[in-house]
Chain A
Amino acid sequence: MSDNYVPSSKFGKWFNDRLPLLSLSAHLREYPTPKNLNYWWTFGAILTFCLVAQIATGIVLAMHYVAHADLAFNSIEHIMRDINYGWLLRYLHSNGSSMFFLAVYIHIFRSLFYGSHKSPREIIWVLGMLIYILMMATAFMGYVLPWGQMSFWAATVITNLFTAIPLIGDSITTWFWGGYAVDNPTLNRFFSLHYLFPFLILGLVILHIWALHVPGNNNPTGIEIQKPSKDTVPFHPYITMKDIFALLIFLIIFCGFVFFSPNILGHPDNYIPANPMVTPSHIVPEWYLLPFYAILRSVPDKLGGVILLFASLFILVGLPWLDRSKVKSAIFRPIYKWFFWLLVLDVLVLGYMGAAPAEGTYLLIARVATAYYFLHFLVILPVLSSVEKTDPLPLSISDPVLKG
């Protein structure tokens, strides 16, 4: 195994004794992976690709973008019209964020279904949630940079969330803004942080993978297996090939957006330059933030709405300690399985309500869905972990396949 890996060449051995990069590479190639992983497990690799692609397109866009309130909007148009392939790089970057979130949501729900957040993988989960929260912050700041109407008013509404904090809220918000409203100082610092955060995410991703490599992958049966054993295959070439194949399918969808409907996920009002005097009549966040926006709006009280919004995120961090069922995979949890799909439906409903006007029936549905969201995590999961009668687990991942 990689622990006692010895490079074949003399130079390789000399180098590896001083910096064991070759041992690391051998570990990554031989890393024993459960042989029953399905395609839902390919999203880790897809997400790594998304992060690298966002960083690569972002760095080249930053070579042409100007982070100034008077120039930002026109510099984006300059990228779109004049820069060689500027339109392609920008559309890859803006649609890339949507694809990134699509993949991360699938990745998170895969964890929830197969119990990948449970012992001994709690730290992987917590790191993953931190990555997700940082992703939202990064995406939000990136959305502000084109300095269109939606950019400006998204920045205004989101930063105003912090004015709800008693006593110090106003000073904190003024500090965020660097002024008395969202203005040039705000744009400038958002650009700086939007450049920084992806590298923080990259650091967390490395820790996330490191923490994964300690217990190894979970698998669809959710039972822990001997590694390496007849239940595992080496990461390369088995998993690398599968990941690359899934990535290619993912890229087809990605390119579909980029080349055929690059603006469908955006909002046309963001092609109007920012105007602090006029708020667009219907402001909505990007689709991937809509469920949380619905939660915010479902509370008729300002501070209450903000508290619930942040609670809905931080409750996820505590998930491994809320769901205490010893059985990981929903395949062997006949009742949890239904609640899992109900949660998926609930989040989709919240997303739909986040885009609808906050009034009448829409508001009522949003309130019910918000209540259910918290009910799922705070009541249903803890109760279910003690009352649910789970199905018998197989002895090994080969067992159900071979005994027939």
Chain B
Amino acid sequence: MEKSGKKNNRRDFLFTASYTIGAVGIGATIWPFIDQMNPDSSVKALATTEVNISQIEPGKSITVLWRGKPVFIKRRTQSEISEAQSVDLNELKHPEKDEDRVKKSEWLVMLGICTHLGCVPLSNKGEYNGWFCPCHGSHYDTSGRIRKGPAPVNMEIPKYEFVDSNTIKIG
């Protein structure tokens, strides 16, 4: 009895070891088939965009493409800035201070993508004078913060810096 029990143990060990090695091998073989769908090197290489902002008048905005996504660069007017700064944070669905969303309060740089399902919101529309998404009715304020509608969070601020007073580098 004891002998056969021992034999079973050795056999169990061989089975377990074989299954484990087999599973690791199959996993390692499948991974390239899955990972090939992730962003490739050429897509990642396009990660920065430089934009000249000297031509933008106060109250106007431009849209540039960065990594295939629209980025809004808005030169805000004084009233839009004070409107964005005076909001009580308790009123916000996703509380963020306007000061934390900009580097220079005159310039709002953000991804022009509704955080609901990815449509491009329309400028100077909606109940909060900021942006309005026509797809499912999300309203954003002059700081791009979500105020009303199905979008869960504020429009995203990409990584950017002022190279000089006339140029912004996004990414």
Residues of A within 8 A of B (CB): 153, 156-157, 159-161, 163, 174-183, 185, 189, 276-283, 297, 299-303, 305, 358-359
Contacts and interface: CB of A to CB of B under 8 A. Distances in A.
14 contacts: A157-B117, A157-B135, A161-B117, A174-B38, A178-B38, A178-B43, A179-B43, A180-B39, A180-B69, A181-B68, A276-B65, A277-B120, A279-B120, A302-B116
Interface in B112-132: 116-121
Nearest to B134: A281
Interface of B: 34, 37-40, 43, 63, 65, 67-70, 116-121, 133-137, 149-152
A276 B70 contact: yes
Given A160-B118, A181-B67, A175 B38 contact: yes
Per DSSP, chain B at the interface is loop
B150 A283 contact: no
Contacts, number: 87
A189 B37 contact: yes
Nearest to A183: B68
Q: Which of A156, A176, A299 has the most CB of B within 10 A?
A: A156
Contacts of A176: 37
A174 B37 CA distance: 9
A183 B65 CA distance: 12
Contacts of B40: 178, 185
A297 B67 CA distance: 28
A283 B134 CA distance: 8
A374 B29 CA distance: 42
B68 to A, nearest CB: 4
A4 to B, nearest CB: 44
A359 B39 CA distance: 37
B150 A276 contact: no
B152 A178 contact: no
Nearest to A297: B136
Contacts of B135: 153, 157, 279, 283
The 5 closest A-B pairs by CB, nearest first: A181-B68, A160-B118, A180-B67, A279-B119, A160-B117
Contacts of B69: 180-181, 276
A302 B43 contact: no
B166 to A, nearest CB: 23
B67 A179 contact: yes
A282 B67 contact: no
A283 B116 CA distance: 14
B70 to A, nearest CB: 5
B107 to A, nearest CB: 20
B68 A276 contact: yes
A367 to B, nearest CB: 13
Given A156-B118, A175-B37, A185-B40, A180 B136 contact: no
Nearest to B148: A300
A359 B65 contact: no
A160 B120 CA distance: 13
Contacts of B43: 178-180, 183, 185
Contacts of B137: 358-359
A175 B33 CA distance: 12
A158 to B, nearest CB: 8
B44 to A, nearest CB: 9
A344 to B, nearest CB: 27
B23 to A, nearest CB: 22
Nearest to A305: B150
A179 B38 CA distance: 7
Given A156-B117, A176-B37, A185-B40, A279 B134 contact: yes
B64 to A, nearest CB: 9
Contacts of A179: 39, 43, 67-68
A54 B73 CA distance: 46
Contacts of A279: 119-121, 133-135
B156 to A, nearest CB: 11
Nearest to B70: A277
A176 B38 CA distance: 7
Nearest to B68: A181
Given A153-B119, A178-B37, A180-B69, A300 B134 contact: no
A197 to B, nearest CB: 16
Given A180-B39, A181-B68, A276-B69, 7 more contacts: A153-B135, A159-B118, A178-B38, A279-B121, A279-B134, A283-B135, A297-B136
A283 B120 CA distance: 12
Q: Which of B37, B38, B43, B117 has the most CB of A within 10 A?
A: B117
A278 B37 contact: no
Contact of A178 (B39, B67, B118, B136): B39
A172 B169 CA distance: 28
A248 to B, nearest CB: 42
B150 A156 contact: no
